[in-house]
Amino acid sequence: MSAQLIRALLLALLAAVVAVPVGHFVAIWAGWAVFCAGFGLQLAFHFRNFARLERWSRAPVVDSSLEGEGAWDGVFGRLYRHEKELRAQIARRDDEIAMLIAAGQALTDGVVLLDENNHILFCNTTAEAQLGLVVRTDRGQPVVNLVRQPEFVGYLTDADFSRPLTLRSDRNEDRVFSIYVLPYAGNRRLMQVKDVTQTDRLDRMRRDFVANVSHELRTPLTVLAGFLETLQEIEVDREEQVRYLALMAEQSQRMQSIVQDLLTLSSIESAPPPENQPVDMPNLIDKLRRDAEALSNGRHQIAVETNAQVDLRGSEPELVSAFGNLVANAVRYTPAGGTIRIIWRASAAGAEFAVEDTGIGIEAKHIPRLTERFYRVDRGRSRDAGGTGLGLAIVKHSLSRHQAQLEIKSEPGVGSRFSARFPVARVLGV
């Protein structure tokens, strides 16, 4: 029997103990009155506490408003502790949920949680930006009503998630996403959206590059094979033979140039950052001038303009290759009688190496693409001039490894200016 019940019985007994003598010695009704008064007091006491409990239970708060008397004190105390513990548990859960949401938000991949009918339960800000969702208004909406691309809708409907879906964004053509769907908590789905734009671009560049290299090498190779076959099968006179051999030598020279430029490019790409060795610029400029004169063979005027005796810090072979390509291009794309200027200037902001020519010039639309591998304005002209289409790619790469910017200005029929600006940190003796 519980202590409260015993106490209640004892109090009733006490009322009876007082009421019986009163009933006996005074009057029966007086005895009953005493007994009822005792009982009524008890009832009033319990009712008061019950009313307090009832009031509190409507809006439970953890404060002193839940203080009881007598046996109620124990009950209220337990309720108070229970409520407090419950609230602490809820606060801990809220913290955990907030942390999970924060972790979801911190992910660099997009995350969308879907219910069994593909309705949105949650998505992080990355997914909002990637797929154009707004979690506040889109929660509860079918995701296919918001991302309507047929390949995406088909992927969710077919429900074969063994492979990710590659989705080219229809909101932003440049972005490519890889979408993984993982089942969780029964029929729910977790959609992970990875931005693979960069990998996709590299992949495409690699494929284009292999296709370009194959194409570039196949042409001279086909010519060589053709001549070889002719020489093997047909009897040709000495004069014809000499002509064939000269053409074959030309094609093999072309292949050699392409392979040489490819090797240069790959060695620059895979090399560690360039050393900080001093590069004797007056000496290098002089060598560039002599090379230009040799290549020009008297067809152009070659001038050197320099206001400085400063040197560069960097990798000499890479700089020679970059500057050499600019000078060679100027000679190759400037008709006879033109002028080529090699410029080396220092200023407080750094130093500038430039090559100016009065050559054929370049239309503005081609300029942003000139440093792409194998990009040429005029394929035939470049080939006739002995170009590989890799020169400016090498230039750009070597310069950027020296923190230098390549600037191209050109006007068709007037000439071009290719310049490289080096920061002060790369210049010795300013």
Which of 195, 216 has the CB closer to ligand ADP? 216
Measured CA to CA, the distance from residue 23 to residue 236 in angstroms comes to 154
Binder of ligand ADP out of 120, 181, 265, 330 (CB under 6 A): 330
Task: Tell me whether residue 20 or residue 294 sits nearer to ligand ADP (CB atom).
Answer: 294
Q: Is 49 in the site for ligand ADP (CB under 6 A)?
A: no
Q: How far is the CB of 271 from ligand ADP (least distance, A)?
A: 20
**Interacting residues with ligand ADP between 138 and 157 (CB under 6 A):** none
Q: Which is nearer to ligand ADP, 38 or 415 (CB)?
A: 415
Minimum distance from residue 266 beta carbon to ligand ADP (Å):
16
Q: Segment near ligand ADP (CB under 6 A), from 152-160, 217-225, 233-241, 323-331?
A: 323-331
Residue numbers 337-396 binding ligand ADP by CB under 6 A: 357, 359-362, 370, 375-378, 382, 387-393
Report the residue number, 224 or 370, with the smaller CB distance to ligand ADP: 370
Name the segment binding ligand ADP (CB under 6 A); options: 100-108, 163-171, 292-300, 324-332.
324-332
Residue with tokens 């964004």: 169
416 near ligand ADP (CB under 6 A): yes
| Minimum distance, C-beta of residue 299 to ligand ADP, in the bound complex (Å) | 15
At closest approach, how far in Å is the CB of 388 from ligand ADP? Answer: 5
Q: Between residues 56 and 333, which has the closer beta carbon with respect to ligand ADP?
A: 333
Give 19 or 394: the residue with its C-beta nearer to ligand ADP.
394
Q: Three-state secondary structure along the chain?
A: CCHHHHHHHHHHHHHHHHHHHHHHHCCHHHHHHHHHHHHHHHHHHHHHHHHHHHHHHHCCCCCCCCCCCCHHHHHHHHHHHHHHHHHHHHHHHHHHHHHHHHHHHHCCCEEEEECCCCEEEEECHHHHHHHCCCHHHHCCCEHHHHCCCHHHHHHHHHCCCCCCEEEECCCCCCCEEEEEEEEECCCEEEEEEEECHHHHHHHHHHHHHHHHHHHHHHHHHHHHHHHHHHHHHCCCCHHHHHHHHHHHHHHHHHHHHHHHHHHHHHHHHHCCCCCCEEECHHHHHHHHHHHHHHHHCCCCEEEEEECCCCEEEECHHHHHHHHHHHHHHHHHCCCCCCEEEEEEEEECCEEEEEEEECCCCCCHHHHHHCCCCCCCCCHHHHHHCCCCCCHHHHHHHHHHHCCCEEEEEEECCCEEEEEEEEEHHHEECC
Considering the complex, state which of residue 158 and residue 269 has its C-beta at the smaller distance from ligand ADP. Answer: 269
Binding of ligand ADP at residue 333 (CB under 6 A)?
Answer: yes
CB of 354 to ligand ADP, least distance (A): 11
Number of residues that bind ligand ADP (CB under 6 A): 23
Min separation Cβ 251 and ligand ADP, Å? 16
Nearest-approach distance from CB 339 to ligand ADP, in angstroms: 12
Shortest CB 332 distance to ligand ADP, Å: 6
Tell me which residues touch ligand ADP (CB under 6 A): 325, 329-330, 333, 357, 359-362, 370, 375-378, 382, 387-393, 416
